[in-house]
């Protein structure tokens, strides 16, 4: 009986185990069926939300090239370090300490940074990190920290082209200069792709392309890198020598309106973001100033157009002082009775004033307005200022006299270059271009070809031994130019007695004008000279001599060229004799 009872109990235990096993199998099978068939799609979507991401496919920004194809701005690959704050804060303290040490910040600062952004899924820890740092971060293996491929802008010429090119921000978006002006076509369009990531946020598989990327468009600029380097070197040297506040040079191609060179000092390095905002300003297009005696050319043009004056008309400038209202106008010395050409040659304030006062104000204004004073050049360069030209109905006699020799009107160096290019281009004004032009655009006639030629003949005397800019001469070439020396305006009223802006505008070669160049030196040390002919003219001569040589432009003053060769030969023979 006892044995039978034990058999029954054993049998029950066996059946219980079997039933329990079957129940587990049925339960697990039911769960598997539910997960695979009924809830499978929903679970896959939830899994994808965790592991599948849509990420941007970065594209490189379009390169900037000079007119000869030399690289001025390029985009190079760079990795940025990012994190998911929640995951990083869950890591062991030793990993957080190591991460902070690699990033070069205190642990508490990093912890606070992540804590303040704990609800975010993405924060940058370091943009455009050094490759060695990226490698160390990867090897550290902190959960929630990963890297992202991007592009970083690089400028091979650095300070030399900084003002004309501008720069981009950390997101590779144009902020100044050409980079800003043409940002839309340079930037391109990033693509998007769907990827699978592991628990550390690393991409383990590309799933599909969502949107194809479009790289930025390459731009070929009008500037010549060789001439840009030459101009920058000489401007830096001149500013240092004259202990000046700043200096600039802009060169235009007379035939096309292209900007061949544009440099400013002080400059900045766009590859290093530690510069001050003030140094990034391109003074050639953003700063307006009174052009001084360079304005006398346009006064004479108005006089010639009025037919009251000719290049040989005699004007009495004696005794060297001329009173207009309560204002006394003086020349460097008493030039007596001189013709209109000599007014330009000697840069007579009195002569220019008498020409302007003989004209109807509306007529004088009309001539200046045709040249575009008070307007921009239309170059499209960001921040370009239009300058100032007040309406003629507000002018007094004193205003007219001052205007005739460059006070009461304001221009940018770029605008001044464009106005002089009209004289060089036989009276035709062309739009200014920073992009290389293959076919010259149609210009607008401003003055007659005859007047343009007469003015060029007058301006050539300025660079003679009798003129104010003999130091602008270039051996072997006929040079056209005009000096300017303007007292700087005092914001408190009037003008500074000992602060000047020295200018020179030059055109070369005179026989077939090719380039117009404006040189400006701001506040040169008076003890080392402050007149445009002594400060700006020599700088012009050095830059243009090198430019003409670089571009193989033939001499147009063979007498001067031959004399130079003979002098060098004789000098060489003398030196040989000493040997």
- Give the residue numbers annotated as catalytic, written as ranges: 293
| Residue that is written with structure tokens 């040189």 in the block | 519
Q: 429: which 2 tokens?
A: 């004004």
Let me know how long the chain is: 579
Cis amide prior to 509 (ω within 30 degrees): yes
Residue 158 CB partners (closer than 8 Å, separation 6+): 269, 270, 271
Give the whole-angstrom CA distance, residue 73 versus residue 71. 6
Question: Are the C-beta atoms of 538 and 521 separated by less than 8 Å?
Answer: no
| Geometric angle at alpha carbon 171, from 166 and 175, rounded to 5° | 25
| Geometric angle at alpha carbon 433, from 547 and 289, rounded to 5° | 80
Give the whole-angstrom CA distance, residue 463 versus residue 557. 13
| Residue that is written with structure tokens 């309106």 in the block | 257
> Which DSSP string corresponds to 206-270?
EEEEEE--BPPPPEEBS--HHHHHHHHHHHHHHHHHTT-SEEEEEEEETTT-BEEEEEEES---T
Question: Are the C-beta atoms of 451 and 301 separated by less than 8 Å?
Answer: yes
Give the whole-angstrom CA distance, residue 123 versus residue 121. 7
CA distances from 259 to 139, 223, 224, 406, 509 (A): 50, 6, 9, 24, 17
- First and final CA of the chain: distance in angstroms? 143
Give the whole-angstrom CA distance, residue 285 versus residue 413. 7
Sign for the CA dihedral angle at 286, 292, 297, 300 comes to positive
Half-sphere exposure of 28 (CA within 13 A, CB side): 6
Alpha helices in 471-531 (DSSP H): none
Give the whole-angstrom CA distance, residue 64 versus residue 483. 35
Give the SS3 label for residue 56: strand
CA distances from 9 to 21, 369, 536 (A): 18, 118, 118
């Amino acid at each position: 009986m006892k044995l039978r009872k034990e058999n029954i109990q054993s049998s029950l235990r066996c059946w219980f185990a079997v039933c329990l096993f079957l129940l587990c199998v049925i339960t697990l099978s039911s769960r598997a069926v539910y997960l695979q068939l009924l809830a499978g799609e929903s679970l896959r979507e939830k899994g994808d939300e965790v592991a599948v991401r849509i990420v941007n496919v970065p594209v490189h920004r379009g390169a900037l090239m000079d007119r000869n194809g030399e690289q001025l701005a390029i985009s190079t690959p760079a990795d940025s370090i990012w994190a998911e704050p929640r995951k990083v804060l869950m890591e062991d303290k030793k990993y957080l300490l190591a991460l902070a040490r690699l990033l070069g910040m205190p642990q508490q600062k990093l912890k606070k940074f992540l804590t303040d952004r704990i609800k975010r899924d993405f924060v940058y820890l370091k943009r455009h990190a050094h490759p060695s740092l990226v490698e160390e971060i990867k090897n550290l293996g902190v959960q929630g920290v990963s890297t992202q491929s991007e592009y970083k802008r690089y400028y091979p010429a650095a300070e030399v082209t900084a003002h004309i090119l501008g720069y981009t921000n950390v997101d590779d978006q144009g902020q100044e200069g050409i980079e800003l002006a043409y940002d839309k076509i340079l930037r391109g369009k990033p693509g998007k792709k769907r990827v699978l990531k592991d628990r550390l946020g690393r991409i383990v598989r590309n799933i599909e392309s969502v949107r194809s990327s479009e790289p930025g468009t390459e731009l070929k600029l009008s500037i010549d890198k060789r001439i840009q380097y030459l101009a920058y070197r000489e401007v830096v040297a001149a500013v240092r020598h004259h202990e000046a506040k700043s200096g600039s040079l802009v060169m235009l191609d007379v035939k096309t309106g292209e900007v061949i060179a544009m440099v400013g000092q002080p400059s900045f390095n766009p590859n290093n973001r530690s510069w001050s905002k003030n140094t990034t300003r391109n003074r050639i297009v953003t700063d307006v100033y009174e052009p001084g005696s360079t304005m006398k050319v346009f006064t004479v043009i108005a006089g010639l157009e009025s037919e009251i004056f000719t290049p040989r008309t005699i004007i009495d400038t004696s005794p060297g002082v001329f009173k207009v209202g309560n204002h006394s106008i003086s020349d460097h010395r008493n030039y007596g009775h001189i013709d209109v050409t000599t007014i330009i040659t000697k840069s007579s304030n009195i002569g220019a004033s008498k020409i302007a006062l003989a004209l109807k104000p509306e007529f004088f204004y009309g001539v200046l307005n045709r040249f575009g004073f008070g307007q921009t050049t239309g170059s499209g360069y960001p921040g370009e200022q239009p300058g100032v030209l007040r309406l003629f109905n507000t002018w007094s006699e004193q205003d007219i006299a001052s205007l005739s020799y460059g006070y009461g009107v304001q221009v940018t160096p770029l605008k001044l270059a464009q106005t002089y290019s009209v004289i060089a281009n036989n009276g035709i004004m062309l739009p200014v271009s920073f992009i290389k032009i293959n076919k010259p655009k149609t210009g607008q006639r401003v003055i007659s070809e005859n007047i343009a030629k007469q003015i060029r003949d007058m301006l050539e005397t300025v660079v003679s031994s009798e003129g104010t800019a003999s130091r602008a001469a270039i051996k072997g070439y006929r040079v056209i130019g005009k000096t300017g020396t303007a007292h700087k305006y005092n914001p408190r009223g009037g003008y500074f007695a000992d602060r000047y802006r020295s200018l020179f505008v030059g055109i070369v070669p005179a026989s077939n004008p090719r380039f117009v160049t404006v040189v400006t030196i701001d506040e040169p040390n008076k003890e080392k000279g402050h007149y445009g002919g002594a400060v700006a003219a020599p700088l012009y001569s050095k830059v243009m001599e090198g430019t003409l040589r670089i571009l193989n432009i033939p001499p147009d003053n063979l007498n001067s060229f031959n004399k130079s060769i003979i002098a060098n030969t004789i000098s060489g023979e003398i030196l040989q004799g000493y040997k």
